[in-house]
Structure 1
């Protein structure tokens, strides 16, 4: 099928007419009609609202040479904590493990027993805002529930680090800011779970770590949650393309403008 010139919406590029033959999809509802006709060089310039188990379409699009903004990797990592842990585990707490079945969980019981790990944190794959995080006194407690089908697979297990600090970092191209989230009554520091926010000053090491993580996972912008331990170790807890900005200095209007500017820049580079 031959490709035709595409005029981008004025909200992205003013009234400019682009004559590049690549088709550009900027709305999710356009994808269904055009999905089977997309070819190498076409661009999807929006976050895809894919259903659970529909993410395999991302692989097909990439295989066909369709370009995605944000990247397919970043979009999938934002949806799945287990994928984050597989992709970015080297930046996370040591012994962070993704559990896919009872056999993997049994192996992890032995691993944690050998390493002397007792308290563990379980993270459900697709829950946010602290709602999918659980603290267990021992990994055997996780095994007992999982063996009785009380915990859905897959999930992430990692050692619990007491008295760590929770830092939310927002990076939008050359703009960055951070704030610390605290909750004296709950180990979940998320503001949604009752936590408070206070400005945190990032140093060069923190920024370098965030940039390395974003590069590895092809994130053009990100909300990153860092964990700072009492030993001054810094680990990645989670990453997402978007997140709440409650507690941030930047306002919603400025935030949206910066995201749109990044998307526009990436789109121009691909045209």
Structure 2
């Protein structure tokens, strides 16, 4: 009987994919393309596990999945749009609110740094261009909210938590990549508990979360990812990577205690 595998490289994952079975662990983030997500379904069926979890990995790459799976935590009136049918359904709901909301926002499914975020003047404008190269399916659709506060939270397991508010008076996109500024922010107990609930729902061992306040209402989750920029954070890149490495090593050790013997698969 072979030892249990802990896969630590994409090359090893591809090489041993057909052999993986219950007790084996994928110990890396898989750089899977959209059309390869079905491989995860196969692995789950074989009871192969991953760290970070498969759910957190998939959520990190898809804003539409976040809108669906994390619906209890996201901004109100947010819709995952996958085709013309779901768009028409969302427009029907949002049209009832057009007296309240005059503009709307879409987010490309896999874009980062605010590059896939667009502001629209009407739902009809979105309908007319949806499905084109300018606004391909799938995407997230939500009303444009005024007076938004955007807080980036970095949670590294039980070892580190930090937050900073992203401010940009010249652009509705708060991202630092888009010229925003970072101001240190002290999280309260309610916000920390909220972040932990979101991470628990998505099975995130560590995460970058964007919290949103609409006036005095919130927090809501705007986005979550296993990894993101730390340009506005106090922690430096070396410290960040050391903590991530520690979290992984501790998980591998627990895995070895559960399954033995273990072989680490590297390139």
Q: Give the structure-2-normalised TM-score.
A: 0.92
Which of the two has greater strand per residue? 2
- Aligned: 1:168 with 2:152: yes
Contact 2:131 2:137 (8 Å CA) reproduced: no
Contact 1:91 1:213 (8 Å CA) reproduced: yes
Contact 1:118 1:139 (8 Å CA) reproduced: no
Unaligned runs of 5+ in 1: 5-21
Unaligned runs of 5+ in 2: 257-267
Aligned mates of 2:133, 2:174 — CA distance in 1: 28
Equivalent in the alignment of 2:177: 192
Greater shift in the superposed pair: 44-53 or 219-228:
44-53
Equivalent in the alignment of 2:219: 234
- Aligned: 1:98 with 2:80: yes
Aligned mates of 1:219, 1:147 — CA distance in 2: 32
Aligned mates of 2:209, 2:35 — CA distance in 1: 25
Higher relative contact order (CA 8 A, sep 6+): 2
- Aligned: 1:30 with 2:12: yes
Change (3 A) 1:23 1:147: closer
SS at match of 2:72: helix
Contact 1:222 1:241 (8 Å CA) reproduced: yes
What is the CA deviation profile of residues 110-141 of structure 1, one whole-angstrom value per residue up to 9, with x for unaligned ones?
A: 11111334311100000000000011122111
What is the CA deviation profile of residues 148-196 of structure 1, one whole-angstrom value per residue up to 9, with x for unaligned ones?
A: 6642111100111111111000001121000011111110110111111
TM-fit CA distance, 1:232? 3.4
Runs ≥4 residues deviating over 6 A:
none
Structure 1 residues 142-181: aligned runs within 5 Å: 142-146=126-130, 150-174=134-158, 175-181=160-166
- Aligned: 1:76 with 2:41: no
Greater shift in the superposed pair: 106-115 or 222-231:
106-115
| 1:121 maps to which of 82, 105, 112 | 105
| 1:265 maps to which of 239, 242, 250 | 250
SS at match of 1:233: strand
TM-fit CA distance, 1:147? 6.2
Contact 2:6 2:27 (8 Å CA) reproduced: yes
TM-fit CA distance, 1:56? 1.4
SS at match of 1:129: coil
Aligned mates of 1:118, 1:141 — CA distance in 2: 12
SS at match of 1:243: coil
Q: Give the structure-1-normalised TM-score.
A: 0.90
TM-fit CA distance, 1:146? 1.4
Q: What is the RMSD of the two structures over their aligned residues, measured on CA atoms?
A: 1.3
Aligned mates of 1:108, 1:150 — CA distance in 2: 19
Greater shift in the superposed pair: 203-212 or 228-237:
228-237
Aligned mates of 1:84, 1:26 — CA distance in 2: 26
Aligned mates of 1:148, 1:48 — CA distance in 2: 29
Greater shift in the superposed pair: 117-126 or 221-230:
117-126
What is the CA deviation profile of residues 206-242 of structure 1, one whole-angstrom value per residue up to 9, with x for unaligned ones?
A: 0000000000000000000011121232110000000
SS at match of 2:32: coil
